[in-house]
Amino acid sequence: MPALAAAPATLRFATEEWPPFFSAALPGNGLTGTLLEAVLQRMDATARIDYFPWKRAMQLGLNDRRYAGALAMFRTPEREKLCYFSSAVGSRQTVLAYLKDEPVTAARLEDLRGVRIGTVAGYSNGEAFDTLVRSGLLTVDEGLNNEMNLRKLLHRRFSAVVVEKRMLRYTLAGGGYTQAERERIVVAENLFPERSVHVCFQRTEEGLKRQRAFDEAAREVDLARIERDYWRTIGQTARLPPPHQ
């Protein structure tokens, strides 16, 4: 009898529901889940993704020994001390969303002084933005997730929210929003640079080995092609709210 092939190793990761990038309801656990799985297959491994609110996901993914790491994170100086970052597994484009009838005009982040801005607790919104928040120049109100922040924006609890562009598009295209609500929201795309995201492997000896193996495997995977194919698969046709003129 031929020997049975060993089953692929299962690496467990923590993240939050963040469609279309991560979601148990989407094919392959979302776009980034699909990219992750493609790389792990080259390592003869597979992923198990568990979903939590973001701060809880970071806590478990980076500290609980049952997990390999947290998904997917922006690379910052502070986080370099918490984990080993993989090579990029996609990117995110942050925008500022606000109401069409109450426009927020800003040529640079500093111009947002005095504007009440909704953010998500535990998120990094870029070094420039985060530094202005820490210095007290910008006023933010941290919410549990993007969905709640968008609802607060529509109810005028915030003047603006910081949100990822494709996540905003996907959320507004869902059945939870009316056409009138979609048309109320506009965005400014000029304030934040596009940023890469990474797997954050636990800062342990095993985590370092996994990060190095992941990066080696990722060099053999055409992530850009997989991403293009994925958008076609889920029919990403909803239009982004227009920039305010």
In a domain, 240, yes or no: no
How would residue 174 be classed by pLDDT, with cut points 50, 70 and 90?
A: confident
pLDDT for the residue numbered 6: 60
pLDDT tens-digit series, residues 153-171: 999 999 999 999 999 998 8
User: At 169, which helix (H) or strand (E)?
Assistant: helix 165-173
For residues 145 and 30, state if they share a domain. Answer: no
For residues 101 and 87, state if they share a domain. Answer: no
Residue 213 confidence (pLDDT) above 90 = yes
Q: CB count, 10 Å around CB of 174? A: 10
Domain that holds residue 170: 92-188
In a domain, 1, yes or no: no
Preceding peptide of 20 cis, ω within 30°:
yes
For residues 114 and 84, state if they share a domain. Answer: no
What is the tally of structural domains in the chain? Answer: 2
The span from the CA of 86 to the CA of 147, in Å, is 28
Q: What is the DSSP string of 2-70?
A: PPPPPPPEEEEEEE--BTTTB-TTSGGGHHHHHHHHHHHHHTTEEEEEEE--HHHHHHHHHH-TT-SEE
For residues 96 and 82, state if they share a domain. Answer: no
Sign of CA dihedral 239, 88, 16, 8: positive
Residue 3 confidence (pLDDT) above 70 = no
Q: Spell out the alpha helix ranges (H) of 43-145.
A: 54-63, 77-80, 127-134
Residue 11 confidence (pLDDT) above 50 = yes
φ, ψ (nearest 5 deg) of residue 75: -90, 120
In a domain, 4, yes or no: no
pLDDT tens-digit series, residues 121-160: 888 899 999 999 999 999 999 988 888 999 999 999 999 9
Chain-centroid distance, C-alpha 86: 15
For residues 98 and 138, state if they share a domain. Answer: yes
In a domain, 242, yes or no: no
How would residue 240 be classed by pLDDT, with cut points 50, 70 and 90?
A: very low
The span from the CA of 238 to the CA of 171, in Å, is 9
Query: Higher confidence at residue 211 or residue 245?
Result: 211
**CATH number of the domain within which 25 lies:** 3.40.190.10
In a domain, 77, yes or no: yes
pLDDT tens-digit series, residues 44-101: 999 999 999 988 999 999 999 999 999 999 998 889 999 999 999 999 999 999 999 9
3-state secondary structure of 139: strand
In a domain, 112, yes or no: yes
For residues 50 and 109, state if they share a domain. Answer: no
